[in-house]
Structure 1
Amino acid sequence: MKMLLGLILMMSFSCNTVKQDPSDPLIQLTKKRCFGKCPVYDLYVYKDGLVKYNGIDHVKRRGKHEFTLSEDQLTEIKNVFEAAGFETLESQEKKVRDLPITQVSFQHKKVQFIGNDIPKEVKKGIGLLERIVGI
């Protein structure tokens, strides 16, 4: 009986706490390797403005970093990505040996771009994030 009561209490407390899960960001940006000097990093932006960044290779800022965006920065980023029309974008799946791969997820819609064949509004959003983070 004590174990059951303990389990119920534990579940009630765990349901009330909101955890930030890296698998549930507002925006996720991943740049993958090529054979040259392509930037390689992972970037997560959460609804509350928290940013988690891991600079892996060929970037100015290497390693794991966390910081918080201002309300204005978060609004600007959201507006740019909303204008990109993610719901209509399709992933590129062609196999190309030495082109960088950029994966972008916005509000749970994930798309992949190969090389520099990235729509203008998505490029604008990526550029904005990279400037803010200092990549």
Structure 2
Amino acid sequence: MKRSIYLLVILLLYSCAATKNYTQDDILLSMKKTSCYGPCPVYELKLYKNGFAKLTAEEHLDLQGDFYTKLPGSKVKALVSKFNEAGFFEMEGQYTSITKDLPTTWIYFSNEGRQKRIKDYDGAPEILRDLEKELSSLIESENWKQK
């Protein structure tokens, strides 16, 4: 009986730790994709400084709902390096055009006291598109768990 109670307490503590309420200050990288008139994937991906990641998958993805995973520190460091090497903080704040029915991508990066959010509707440089692809590849490559 004592062992059952002990295991129950551990499970409760673990589940509480997994649902920590993160704030905007905890976010390292995020990307949000909006809808279009076609089958554009709609989702928001947040990567926190501790490697915890949350995916809110809304439309046109194999996953639907809220999912969570933990990225290894080496992967988080590699992503930070790619964003720094790409000159994310030196990029324009938005890339738009008069083209209609494109999804908008909002991408955010916070590092060493600096923060920037970029709106990419159309016409973003290839280096920014590469960063977007890098983040979206996490949807397929990581072991997401639904809560």
TM-score, normalised with respect to structure 2:
0.70
Deviations 1:50-108 (A, max 9, x none): 10110110112221011110112111111111122122211125454301111101112
Q: Which amino acid aligns with 1:97?
A: K
Q: Which runs of 5+ in 2 are unaligned?
A: 1-19, 142-147
Deviations 1:1-55 (A, max 9, x none): xxxxxxxxxxxxxxxxx9621x231111000011111111001111110101101
Correspondence for 1:29: 31
2:108 aligned to which of 92, 105, 109: 105
* In 2, Cα distance between equivalents of 1:26 and 1:123: 18
Cα RMSD for the two superposed structures? 2.0
Runs of 4+ in 1 over 3 A off after TM superposition: 93-96
Correspondence for 2:69: 67
> Quick check: 2:54–2:68 contact (8 Å CA) kept in 1?
yes
Write the mapping of 1:8-27 to structure 2, written as runs, cut at 5 A. 20-21=22-23, 23-24=24-25, 25-27=27-29
* In 2, Cα distance between equivalents of 1:102 and 1:130: 11
Identity of aligned pairs, percent?
26
Change in CA separation of 1:120 and 1:93 when aligned onto 2, cut-off 3 Å: closer
Q: Which amino acid aligns with 1:102?
A: T
* In 2, Cα distance between equivalents of 1:36 and 1:50: 31
Correspondence for 2:140: 134
SS at match of 1:48: coil
Change in CA separation of 1:61 and 1:118 when aligned onto 2, cut-off 3 Å: farther
* In 2, Cα distance between equivalents of 1:121 and 1:93: 16
* In 2, Cα distance between equivalents of 1:71 and 1:87: 22
